[in-house]
Structures are given as C-alpha cells and as structure tokens.
Amino acid sequence: MRLLKGNFIYSIDKNEIEIKKNQYLLVKDGKVEGFYNEVPSIAKDVKVEDYKDNIIIPGLSDLHVHAPQYAFRGMGMDMQLLDWLNTYAFKEEGKYKNLEYAKKQYSKFVDDVKNSATTRLSIFATLHKDATIMLMDLLENAGVKAYVGKVNMDRNSPEFLSEDTIESKEDTIEWLEQIKDRYKNIKPILTPRFIPSCTDKLMDEIQNINKKYKLPIQSHLSENTSEIDWVADLHPDTNNYAEAYDKYNLFGKENKTIMAHCVHCPDDELNLIKQNNVTVAHCPQSNANLTSGIAPIKKMLDMGIYVGLGSDIAAGSSLSIFRAMSDAVQVSKLREAMTGEKNQILTLSEVFYLGTKGGGKFFGNVGSFEKGYEFDAIVLNDESFGDNSDFTLKERLERIIYLSDDRNIVAKYVAGNKVI
C-alpha cells in the first residue's frame, strides 16, 4: 500500500475537474483505493509520502510519437507532410538498421520520456525488428508503460527504408515471437505506417497476423490534403481514407485502434471512427508545423468520439503533453477565428481531460484518481513560477499546463510504482 498527502486534481469527465485539497490518497495493489481527510485505520502503519502544498495529477498519455525521429526534432519545419517525410524522416529512420546508432539515440529518447510527465505512450519504432526490440527493452527498464510498433512499409519510400511484402510479414511475426513474455510494461501494437506505405498485399498479411495475435493497431489518418488525394487514387473503391483500413479490418472494429491526426475527416469518416470506437490522437503542434490544418476536436468530443493527445515527434517538436494541451487550446481558438464556425474552442477542463483520462482510456482504467484506476501520477512543485498564494488550485493547474517543464516534476508513479 501507499499513502500520499497533497493537493490532488483529476478529471471526472471532459467538463468536470475534481479537486481534493490537502488530502490523503490510499493506493492498494497499484490502484486508487480512495481519498481521506485523515490517515485511515487500514493504513496506519503505512509511511506517508507527504507532498505538502505540491499538486498531484494523473500521469499524462502520449498517444502518438515516433521514437526514431526524436534525434532530429526541431528541424525541417518549413515543409508539408510528404516532402518532410522524404527529406527528413525516412533518411533518419534508415539509420536504425545500425544497432549501435539505435542504442545511442533510443537511450536519449527513453531518458527524456522517463523524466517527463508522461506515463503511458503509443510509439512508432522503425521497420527494423532488432532496433525495435532494443527500444522496448530500454522502455521496460525506464518503468513507463507503452505500446511499441515495428513499422510495416513496403512501398513509396527509398530502398534503404523499405521492406518487401513477405519480409515485412515474416519480420513482424519473428518480432512478435521474440518478445513473447519478455516484458511486464511494454506491449506490441501493429503499425502499418499509413496507406501510401503499404501495398494491398501487405495490408492483407497484416490482417492475417491480426487474426492470430489479436493486437491493437495504430496508424495515420487524414492528416494532409495531398495525402488524402493520394489515398483516394490508391483505393478508388473506397468512399474515404478510413475505409482503406476498414477494408482489412484494421480500423477499430475488431481490435482497439489509434488513428493520428484526423484533421480533414469528412462526416462519413467521423461516423466510422465513432461506430468502430477508434481513438483519435490529436497532435496540434505537428499539425501546425507541417501546415496540415486544425482538427475539429470539439465536434469529435460532441459526437462522443474517443480522443487523446499526441506529441507526434518529430513533426511535433516537443515531447511534452502539457505543451500539447496548451497547443490544443490555442489552435482551437485559431480554428474558430479563421473558419467562423462557432463552438470550436477547447476549455482547460477539456484539454486536461484529453491529456489524462481521454488518452489514458486506451490503456484501461488510466488517467484519473477515481477508485479502481491504476495509480499513474505526477507530483509538481510550482514555486518556480513565483508566489502562488493568491491562486486557486485550478488556476495553479492552468499555469502548470502553460509554464511547467521537467524541472517542476518532484516525483512520478506508474501503476503504483515510483519511477522518479
């Protein structure tokens, strides 16, 4: 058991933030048991972890991040998606064939993840099986929980970053067999890069793999208008981009699925997302950097679509999900200002929900302090922002979202384990 004392803030739903000032939180078997005004009798022998006036919130979830792109983040931000992939992303990812290079770069990525406010991630590796296993090993040791995908891609990329179809299938199966029972915290996720990267034959093979292994799925959807036109050419039998995944049962119906971006989804695509319980990873910084656009998140939330946030390193330059929260607010305001459409602006409560309970849902009961939730938490000291004695806890939370960095993190817990 654990007993923590401090100021707790968490989401009940997208419109409601719960605040427990100066209380005790009991954690049993890694899960939240409840809040108390005084030390409860069942925990009278447990040492109190007293965080005084610090703020304790659920750990953040990053639903979309490319680990092998971390090394060149903050570069090439003057291009749109398809040119950026060809000029920067593919070149860098090709280097992960070399395990020494992969170890050096993935170690830096994992160190920074460990020291961040993020406790759960869904990660793209590269097509390289051995480097992907190395990334999974490093993450396991860091104590965070993550899905990691060996990427599948057999067309429309340079020779040095392309598989043939059979190789892609066989390497994926070998990867899955090699990591069986290897990890406590890290799990595999099927990762067809996006439709332009995967032949129909490869999509068929991934569907077959999924019949046997029954894994979650992640990919990209409707990020950029040129990409969408290209997918329409590649799959003329479909009514929208999503149907090109759904054709192969790789769109939520059978296995839980994350689709990153969803900036330009027509209504029938949004309806399919909703119907198939697909989770949208909203990546506002990436969508600004690559001039992709602004996703209609308010509309998705109103439709009851599951949404969380993603850093989308390296199209997004910051690993911080706090930053993704403030970016999500800011771009939603620009969407309202520029389109003239009403009801586009995301509230503090909504973006806090997206970064915690909304994204956490993909991992189970994660991202809140309600009874039974896995205890993922971040303890934050906000004294460096200046005197906060006149501010409410909710105001202090908003400042943490806009102003904090890793230096404000005092402690971090994942499923009840203290990792920093």
- DSSP of 141-177: HHT-EEEEE-EE--SSS-GGG---HHHHHHHHHHHHH
- Map the footprint of Fe ion across residues 301-320, applying CB under 5 A: 312
Query: Is residue 193 a contact residue for ligand GUN (CB under 6 A)?
Result: yes
* Contact residue for ligand GUN among 171, 246, 269, 312 (CB under 6 A): 312
Rounded distance between C-alpha atoms, residue 144 and residue 116, angstroms: 10
What would the x/- binding string for ligand GUN be over residues 275 to 294, using CB under 6 A?
Answer: -----------x--------
* Contact residue for ligand GUN among 2, 14, 20, 66 (CB under 6 A): 66
Q: How far is the CB of 66 from Fe ion (least distance, A)?
A: 6
Q: How far is the CB of 68 from ligand GUN (least distance, A)?
A: 9
- Asked if residue 416 lies in contact with residue 386, where contact means CB atoms within 8 angstroms, the answer is no
- Map the footprint of ligand GUN across residues 222-251, applying CB under 6 A: 223
Containing 231, the helix (H) or strand (E) segment is helix 225-234
Q: Which is nearer to Fe ion, 246 or 312 (CB)?
A: 312
Rounded distance between C-alpha atoms, residue 267 and residue 264, angstroms: 10
**Number of residues located near Fe ion, criterion CB under 5 A:** 2
* Contact residue for ligand GUN among 96, 109, 147, 194 (CB under 6 A): 194
Query: Is residue 73 a contact residue for ligand GUN (CB under 6 A)?
Result: no
194 binds, among Fe ion, ligand GUN, none (CB under 5 to 8 A by kind): ligand GUN
Rounded distance between C-alpha atoms, residue 24 and residue 228, angstroms: 51
Q: Where are the alpha helices (DSSP H) in 292-413?
A: 297-303, 321-339, 348-353, 359-360, 393-403
Q: Which is nearer to ligand GUN, 125 or 209 (CB)?
A: 125
Q: Which is nearer to ligand GUN, 93 or 350 (CB)?
A: 93
Q: Which is nearer to ligand GUN, 119 or 222 (CB)?
A: 222
- Map the footprint of ligand GUN across residues 29-58, applying CB under 6 A: none
146 binds, among Fe ion, ligand GUN, none (CB under 5 to 8 A by kind): none
Report the candidate in 228, 176, 240, 180 with the shortest Cα–Cα distance to residue 205. 176
Q: Which is nearer to ligand GUN, 51 or 194 (CB)?
A: 194
Query: Is residue 62 a contact residue for ligand GUN (CB under 6 A)?
Result: no
Query: Is residue 313 a contact residue for ligand GUN (CB under 6 A)?
Result: no
Cα 176 from chain centroid?
22
Query: Is residue 227 a contact residue for Fe ion (CB under 5 A)?
Result: no
217 binds, among ligand GUN, Fe ion, none (CB under 5 to 8 A by kind): none
Exposure letters 137-167 (e unless 16+ CB within 10 A, then b): bbbbebbbbbbbbbbbbbbbbeeebbbebee
Tokens of 170: 């066989």
Q: How far is the CB of 108 from Fe ion (least distance, A)?
A: 19
Rounded distance between C-alpha atoms, residue 338 and residue 341, angstroms: 8
Helix (H, G, I), strand (E, B) or coil at 71: helix
C-alpha dihedral over 271, 274, 280, 285, to 10 degrees? 40
Q: Which is nearer to ligand GUN, 51 or 245 (CB)?
A: 245
Rounded distance between C-alpha atoms, residue 357 and residue 365, angstroms: 8
For tokens 């291009």, the residue is 79
* Contact residue for ligand GUN among 4, 26, 55, 85 (CB under 6 A): 85
**Number of residues located near ligand GUN, criterion CB under 6 A:** 11
Half-sphere exposure of 312 (CA within 13 A, CB side): 30
Task: Give residues in contact with Fe ion (CB under 5 A).
Answer: 260, 312
Task: Give residues in contact with ligand GUN (CB under 6 A).
Answer: 66, 81, 85, 89, 193-194, 220, 223, 286, 312, 315
